[in-house]
Amino acid sequence: MKKKILITGWLWYIWSHAVVAFELAWYETVILDNLSNSCVTTLRNIQSILGYKPKYYECDLRNRKEVFKVFDENNFDGVIHFAWAKAVGESCNEPIYYFQNNISWSLFLFEAMEKNNVKNIIFSSSATVYHQENQMPLIESNLLGTTNPYGTTKMLLEKILEDLSQFSWFNVINLRYFNPIGAHPSWKIGEDPEWIPNNLLPFIMKVANGELEEL
């Protein structure tokens, strides 16, 4: 029997690659996304790659009742959590929104996991959790410390999950990546945001393909 994984987050870049990778590794993925900053076209592209459409819920983590319903209808073996706002600059202008969106609403997800005895989680953290005084290259044990609300939400969620690991026996993996880039060999999924990018590499790609004159 396939193991079933809940994947929360945007219907686009890293998230879409995770869905395809786990499906091809013989997992059953269940998708949860509220479409607030994503495009359902990505779901159709995933279907084109796999030959079928993974199970999908249009659901907002702010809706505790709906989150619990997703867990009631499925027997999950684990969760991959990608669902949050992610722009550093925007977080400095709207810190309260980032604290609500990235921390408070994640707690509904963790509560549903606890209630349903789902103890395995991969958390999409960020290299922004590392203190600026660290020397390159960074290693896992380097000093933590953030300079913006987005990074603070990631660091606090790591600490919450650390406590859940110690006191509620969660099995936790934190992924602290920098600027991921790449596309599926089919070119049907990749990073090509329709809005103004908030990180460097999409700008480089837009220069390379002629959409922008210079970086």
Query: For 13-61, what is each residue's pLDDT tens digit?
Result: 677 878 888 989 999 999 888 766 556 677 777 777 778 888 889 888 8
Could you tell me the residue range of the domain that residue 10 belongs to? 3-183
Numbers of helices and strands, H then E, in the chain: 8, 6
| Domain-embedded: residue 206 | no
d(CA 22, CA 11): 15
Least-confidence region, from 59-73, 75-89, 151-165: 75-89
Backbone angles phi, psi at 162, to 5 degrees: -60, -45
| 13, 57, 130, 150: the active-site residue | 150
Closest CA to 151 of 129, 173, 175: 129
d(CA 49, CA 44): 9
Q: Which of 11-20, 131-140, 174-183 has the highest mean pLDDT?
A: 131-140
Mean pLDDT of 180-209: 69
- pLDDT cut 70: percent of the chain above it: 89
| Domain-embedded: residue 210 | no
If one counts the domains in the chain, the total is 1
d(CA 167, CA 150): 26
d(CA 200, CA 102): 22
Identify whether 150 is a catalytic site residue. Answer: yes
| Domain-embedded: residue 208 | no
pTM over the 0.75 mark = yes
| Domain-embedded: residue 147 | yes
| Domain-embedded: residue 215 | no
Query: For 110-126, what is each residue's pLDDT tens digit?
Result: 999 999 999 999 999 98
| Domain-embedded: residue 207 | no
Return the ∠ at Cα 29 (arms to 24 and 35), rounded to 5°: 120
CATH number where 120 lies? 3.40.50.720
| Domain-embedded: residue 39 | yes
| Domain-embedded: residue 191 | no
